[in-house]
Amino acid sequence: MQNRAEHKPAGEEPVTIVGAGPSGLACAIILARGGRKVEVREWKDSVGHRFHGDFQGLDNWSNSEDCLVELAASGITPEFERTPVHQTTAFDGKGKAHEIRSPRPLYYLLRRGSAPGSLDRGLLAQAEAEAVEVRFNDRVHRTHGPTILAAGPRRANVIAAGYLFETNHENGSWFSIDQNLAPGGYAYLLVHQGRGTLASCMYDNFDRQANHVQLARTFFCEKLGLEMHNERKFGGYGTWSLAQFPLQGGHPVIGEQAGFQDALAGFGLRYAMSSGILAARCLLEGHDYAAAWRREILPRLKTGIANRLIFETMGSAAHSWALRGLAGAGNDPVNRLQRLYAPQGLTRLAYPFAAWRYRKSRQQRACSQVDCNCVWCRQQRAIIPKVSTFTSQIDGTDTS
Ligand SMILES: Cc1cc2nc3c(=O)[nH]c(=O)nc-3n(C[C@H](O)[C@H](O)[C@H](O)COP(=O)(O)OP(=O)(O)OC[C@H]3O[C@@H](n4cnc5c(N)ncnc54)[C@H](O)[C@@H]3O)c2cc1C
């Protein structure tokens, strides 16, 4: 007996999307609006499962277009809580504050997780309104037919750990690039309407996570007089990598599964949604996703990786100088950041060295504690089984 799918022209076959994160849901919305039948298969029992109600920032500097305008133009309506952030305080390695203000939002503050108002719930609601079928508790091991892979990070080469809490502190956004608080990265504090997220975002020394988180907490509490109530710990991991080819088994790979994340600062949301939209458009219009990725995503990824090398090579005096430049009177920080993220002389020069330096994922020293529950140990338990069992088939024959 013939497979039912064989009677259908390829363009009408339902599309399966693996993973209901921002990349998978953005992709599903665009495909459904384009008339395709879409099924999203999600491992967990809800969207946003790997997040905890923590605040994140949707960056507004990596492209000349405002990120919400860009989403709306693609057909994604921002039906989630978001707050434009025009001002942030950046502390350098010596604890000196630099005020960065911008007429255009620097980023939009969002909440992640499964609670109402989160980005994840907003995207889910829109996908369901477009008649996308989202199947929860459905961990995919094999796929067949047209498939898009959006299953999130494969390994951890950046981690964030800290606290979620309630507070009477004023709303605001603060970060520090003191490398004692966050090796290779930055510590951040985001407060909005009585809720706060404080974390250390680390690119190195994962085995000393607890120590760095404690230092970050002490720093913000002492510097700003922050008081935290009903605090709970949270943590997560991410992947940035030099994807050589955005296809796996012939299927488009989007979002963090493909390593699409800003290597300098760990921002992956805009990449996730824009790569999902790009993959959907390519499928609808019959374009080659790999070629579109090479044109629209790869140059920014390369710049992020070059920026990471430059950041790691600079000393703390140069970090302070860079912050002073962003905060300088009369400067447009969004414009400056845009230039930082656009391929130009220094990043073009640095890229081959960065590509060599980061050719393999970083070999992090594993945590040495027995029965530990730090982010490093948790990601080892969560990711390794996921990757080793996840395979995809391209020819439509499911051999399971
Ligand atoms: C603590 C933390 C803070 C962050 N802060 C920011 C920030 O401020 N700004 C920013 O831009 N980015 C931030 N990021 C990164 C950002 O959250 C990610 O880049 C983004 O969520 C990636 O979206 P995604 O859709 O690719 O993957 P995910 O959001 O990980 O979604 C993937 C989905 O696939 C599902 N899945 C996995 N395997 C399977 C399977 N086999 N079968 C079915 N389903 C599967 C997962 O359950 C998950 O729901 C942060 C990350 C962390 C951890």
Model confidence at 180: pLDDT above 70: yes
Distance 152 CA to ligand 1 centre (A): 5
Q: Is 21 in the pocket of ligand 1 (CB under 6 A)?
A: yes
Cα maximum dimension of the chain: 73
Q: Is 44 in the pocket of ligand 1 (CB under 6 A)?
A: yes
Model confidence at 221: pLDDT above 80: yes
Q: Is 311 in the pocket of ligand 1 (CB under 6 A)?
A: no
Which pLDDT tens digit goes with each residue over 145-179? 899 999 998 878 899 999 999 999 999 999 999 99
Distance 324 CA to ligand 1 centre (A): 32
Per-residue three-class SS string for 158-210: EEEEEEEEECCCCCEEEEECCCCCCCCCEEEEEEECCEEEEEEEECCCHHHHH
Distance 23 CA to ligand 1 centre (A): 8
The region of weakest confidence among 18-32, 142-156, 171-185 is 142-156
E strands, 239-297, are 247-248, 251-252
d(CA 102, CA 188): 19
The region of weakest confidence among 17-31, 207-221, 244-258 is 244-258
Model confidence at 386: pLDDT above 80: no
Which pLDDT tens digit goes with each residue over 281-340? 999 999 999 999 999 999 999 999 999 999 999 888 889 998 998 888 667 899 888 888
Model confidence at 19: pLDDT above 70: yes
Instruction: List phi, psi (to 5°) of 230.
Output: 45, 45
Name the closest-CA residue to atom 10, ligand 1.
267
In 3D space, the residue among 23, 142, 43 whose CA is nearest the CA of residue 394 turns out to be: 142
In 3D space, the residue among 323, 325, 280 whose CA is nearest the CA of residue 74 turns out to be: 280
Region 67-80: what's the mean pLDDT? Answer: 95
In the structure, what pLDDT confidence band is assigned to residue 382 with cuts at 50, 70 and 90? low
Q: What is the DSSP string of 213-236?
A: HHHHHHHHHHHH----EEEEEEEE
Ligand 1 pocket test, pick from 46, 50, 202 with the greatest ligand atom count within 8 Å of Cβ, gives 50
What does R_g of the chain's alpha carbons equal in angstroms?
Answer: 21
What percentage of the chain reaches a pLDDT higher than 70? 86
Neighbour tally for 242: CB within 10 Å: 16
Q: Is 52 in the pocket of ligand 1 (CB under 6 A)?
A: no
Ligand 1 pocket test, pick from 16, 42, 164, 239 with the greatest ligand atom count within 8 Å of Cβ, gives 42
Token pair listed for 208: 């000393």
Q: Which atom of ligand 1 is nearest to the CA of 262?
A: 11
Q: Between residues 50 and 366, which one has the greater pLDDT?
A: 50
pLDDT at 359: 77
In the structure, what pLDDT confidence band is assigned to residue 381 with cuts at 50, 70 and 90? low
Region 223-240: what's the mean pLDDT? Answer: 94
CA 377 from chain centre, in angstroms, equals 20
pLDDT at 6: 39
In 3D space, the residue among 169, 334, 331, 182 whose CA is nearest the CA of residue 266 turns out to be: 182
Model confidence at 3: pLDDT above 50: no
Q: Is 268 in the pocket of ligand 1 (CB under 6 A)?
A: yes
**Domains in the chain and their CATH numbers?**
4-154+239-389 (3.50.50.60)
pLDDT averaged over every residue in the chain = 87
Model confidence at 399: pLDDT above 90: no
pLDDT at 48: 96
Ligand 1 pocket test, pick from 267, 374, 391 with the greatest ligand atom count within 8 Å of Cβ, gives 267
Which pLDDT tens digit goes with each residue over 238-294? 888 776 678 888 889 999 999 899 999 999 999 999 999 999 999 999 999 999 999
Q: Which atom of ligand 1 is nearest to the CA of 139?
A: 42
Contact predicate 273/76, CB 8 Å? yes
Residues whose CB falls within 8 Å of the CB of residue 218, separated by 6 or more in sequence, listed in order: none
pLDDT at 344: 82
Distance 256 CA to ligand 1 centre (A): 7
Q: Is 22 in the pocket of ligand 1 (CB under 6 A)?
A: yes
Q: Which atom of ligand 1 is nearest to the CA of 260?
A: 19
The region of weakest confidence among 64-68, 183-187, 339-343 is 339-343
Model confidence at 388: pLDDT above 50: no
d(CA 198, CA 146): 41
Q: Is 41 in the pocket of ligand 1 (CB under 6 A)?
A: yes
In the structure, what pLDDT confidence band is assigned to residue 9 with cuts at 50, 70 and 90? very low
Q: Is 390 in the pocket of ligand 1 (CB under 6 A)?
A: yes
> Which residue(s) pair with 286 in the sheet?
none
Q: Which atom of ligand 1 is nearest to the CA of 140?
A: 42
Q: What's the length of the chain?
A: 400
Model confidence at 11: pLDDT above 70: no
pLDDT at 340: 85
CA angle 393–157–90, rounded 5-degree value? 135
Q: What is the DSSP string of 306-347?
A: HHHHHHHHS-HHHHHHHHHHHH-TT--HHHHHHHHHS--HHH
* The CA-based dihedral angle spanning residues 73, 79, 80, 86, taken in that order and rounded to the nearest 10 degrees: 40
CA 394 from chain centre, in angstroms, equals 27
**Residue 88 three-state SS:** strand
